[in-house]
């Protein structure tokens, strides 16, 4: 009997849609819970879609789980993972009545003892260092005085990161103490109500409403900056063991702290060992990502954070040991592992629509494997529409300074 996988996302970002395609191709029945209008709800690969409501998230998750009766849940963003952790806490308090949901979440994500760690940057890095993994010094910064002490101790530049953020949001690099203090205030501050309302109305994303209403401040972490270039790993794991993995160095990004747009497949023993150690230490299951900095000069891999959910490369089938959806299908179904044919023999992967949005004339669109979802026309159209909206928004933002500087004739 085919296992049912429920993909859950609170975001309108599209990588979960690619994962749905890959899981369906591997043999899974795929259901999804997503915001209204998300292309997941109109894809051929998705059997049924359930509504995510940002103002009542746990009720949305519970209803989708009850309707889908999945064998596995895969979160597509950090907030979805956080909601699953909260749902586990709620159901555990119900005793026997909540046991089935708790077991499902643990089977999907791993041991609950690790839940607080994967969502908190500093405890995670401390645990990695305890495992003998190379990782930069990282500390929670409570206030401006603590920030000044950190800078006096480790120097500048330094990296400031807010918990509960991903995709480059909530990460700032400060080159001076003044920049660091300004970044700290910005990262710690509750979301502005205007921003929360705009995101709720325009993007149908209500995730900022409660933090804004409750004036909830973010935990800010400081991390020593490692000079080098970025790398990333995605792993499929089961009960603390890595089943399949992908390791990439980042070639291009849309912005300095945004998601990658071009990646190069690599073999890196230090990255592989570090991922295996943390998967075993946290007893993880499902799909997870790890980010690294490859140090200039030495090539040493410094683990800088975990992504406790599916990442944008998790769908890529790149042969035995490098096919995450097929590995998960085998683990859940009990059937022998059977990797899909490799999608490409090229080492360079150009992510769609990220690189196309960054530079429509990029040479990587033709020289690398351009990962376009031709099999799902609705998804393809949604990606193009969103890219056009972003391009229009960017052009309007660039025009604003010129307009504000222009003198308006008096009548």
pLDDT digits (tens, 9 = 90+) for 206-225: 666 656 555 566 899 999 99
Q: Cβ of 235: how many Cβ atoms within 10 Å?
A: 26
Find the range with the poorest average confidence among 36-40, 166-170, 286-290, 394-398.
Answer: 394-398
The residues spanned by each domain of the chain are 4-112, 137-224, 228-379
Instruction: Tell me how far apart the alpha carbons of residues 282 and 114 are, in angstroms, rounded to a whole number.
Output: 5
219 HSE (CA, 13 A, CB side):
11
pLDDT at 193: 60
Using the structure block, give the residue that is written with the tokens 């000069």. Answer: 297
**137-224: CATH class:** alpha beta
Pick from 353, 344, 309, 305: nearest CA to 323: 344
Q: Percent helix, strand, coil in the chain (nearest 5)?
A: 45, 25, 35
pTM, whole model, 2 decimals?
0.88
Using the Cα atoms of residue 370, residue 376, residue 377 and residue 383 in order, give the sign of their dihedral: negative
Percent of the chain with pLDDT over 90: 70
pLDDT at 307: 94
Max alpha carbon distance in the chain (Å)?
Answer: 79
**228-379: CATH class:** alpha beta
pLDDT at 390: 56
**4-112: CATH class:** alpha beta
pLDDT digits (tens, 9 = 90+) for 299-358: 999 999 999 999 999 999 999 999 999 999 999 999 988 888 999 999 999 999 899 989
Name, in order, each residue with C-beta under 8 angstroms of 263's C-beta and a sequence gap of 6 or more.
Answer: 232, 248, 249, 250, 251, 313, 348, 349, 351
Using the structure block, give the residue that is written with the tokens 């879609």. Answer: 49
pLDDT at 218: 83
In the three-class reduction of DSSP (H, G, I as helix; E, B as strand; rest coil), residue 233 is classed as strand
Q: Does 380 or 179 have the greater pLDDT score?
A: 179
Give 77's strand partners.
none
- Distance from CA of residue 52 to its chain's centroid? 18
pLDDT digits (tens, 9 = 90+) for 249-299: 999 998 777 789 999 999 999 999 999 999 999 999 999 999 999 999 999
Instruction: Tell me how far apart the alpha carbons of residues 5 and 31 are, in angstroms, rounded to a whole number.
Output: 6
Instruction: Tell me how far apart the alpha carbons of residues 348 and 263 are, in angstroms, rounded to a whole number.
Output: 6
């Amino acid at each position: 009997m085919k296992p049912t996988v429920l993909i859950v996302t609170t975001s309108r970002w599209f990588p979960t849609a690619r994962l749905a395609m890959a899981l369906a191709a591997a043999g899974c029945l795929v259901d999804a819970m997503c915001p209204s209008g998300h292309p997941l709800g109109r894809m051929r690969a998705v059997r049924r879609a359930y509504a995510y409501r940002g103002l009542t998230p746990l009720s949305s998750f519970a209803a989708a789980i009850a309707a889908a009766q999945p064998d596995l849940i895969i979160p597509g963003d950090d907030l979805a993972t956080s909601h699953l952790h909260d749902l586990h806490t709620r159901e555990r308090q119900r005793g026997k009545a909540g046991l089935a949901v708790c077991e499902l979440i643990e089977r999907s994500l791993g041991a609950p003892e690790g839940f607080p760690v994967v969502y908190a940057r500093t405890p995670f890095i401390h645990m990695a260092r305890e495992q003998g993994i190379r990782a930069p010094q990282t500390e929670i910064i409570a206030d401006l005085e603590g920030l000044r002490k950190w800078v006096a101790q480790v120097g500048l530049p330094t990296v400031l990161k807010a918990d509960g953020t991903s995709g480059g949001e909530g990460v700032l690099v400060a080159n001076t103490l003044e920049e660091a203090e300004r970044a700290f205030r910005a990262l710690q501050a509750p979301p502005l109500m205007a921003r929360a309302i705009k995101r709720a109305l325009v993007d149908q994303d209500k995730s900022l409403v409660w933090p804004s209403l409750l004036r909830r401040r973010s935990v800010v972490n400081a991390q020593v900056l490692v000079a080098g270039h970025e790398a990333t790993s995605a792993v499929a794991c089961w009960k603390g063991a890595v089943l399949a993995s992908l390791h990439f160095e980042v070639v291009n990004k849309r912005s300095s702290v945004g998601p990658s747009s071009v990646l190069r497949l690599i073999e890196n023993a230090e990255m592989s060992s570090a991922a295996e150690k943390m998967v075993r230490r946290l007893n993880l299951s499902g799909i997870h990502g790890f980010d690294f900095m490859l140090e200039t000069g030495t090539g040493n891999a410094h683990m800088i954070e975990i992504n406790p959910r599916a990442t944008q490369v998790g769908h890529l089938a790149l042969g035995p040991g490098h096919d995450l959806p097929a590995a998960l299908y085998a683990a859940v179904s009990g059937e022998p592992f059977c990797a899909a044919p490799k999608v490409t023999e090229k080492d360079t992967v150009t992510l769609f629509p990220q690189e196309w949005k960054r530079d429509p004339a990029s040479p990587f669109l033709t020289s690398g494997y351009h990962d376009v979802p031709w099999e799902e026309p609705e998804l393809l159209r949604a990606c193009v529409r969103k890219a056009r909206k972003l391009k229009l928004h960017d052009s309007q933002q660039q025009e604003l300074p010129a307009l504000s500087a222009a003198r308006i004739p008096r009548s």
